[in-house]
Structure 1
Amino acid sequence: MRTLRWLVSAQKLCASARWLSGVEANKPQVKLVRMVHSSFTPAPPKANDTPKAVTPFEEHFSQQQKDKNSFVKVLNLFCGRDVRRRGHVEMIEAALRWMPEFGVEKDLQVYNKILDVFPKEVFVHRNFIQTMFNHYPRQQECAIKVLDQMETYGVVPDKNTIFLLTQTFGKLSHPVKKYRRLMYWFPKFKYANPFPVPAGIEADPVAMSKLCLERMAADKDGHITVYQLPSTEQCEDGTVIERTHLVGKYLCFIKPWQ
Structure 2
Amino acid sequence: MTTVTYPRGMPLTEAVLDHVAIAVDDVDAAVSHWLGRGAVPVGGGEAPAFRSEQVRLGNGAKLELIGRTTGEPSFIDGYLERFGPGRVHHVTIKVGTSLAQAIEELDAEGIQTVDRNESYPHWHEAFVRPSVVGGMIVQIAWASGTDADFAERSGRPAPQSPDPAAPHLLALQMTHVDPPAARALWSAVGATVTDDGNGGFEAQWSASPMVVRVALGERSGPVGLVVPGLAPGERTDVAPVLLGV
Q: Which has the higher contact order (CA 8 A, sep 6+)?
A: 2
Query: As a proportion of its length, which structure holds more helix?
Result: 1
TM range (shorter): under 0.3
From the CA coordinates, give the structure whose radius of gyration is larger.
1
Q: Which has the higher strand share?
A: 2
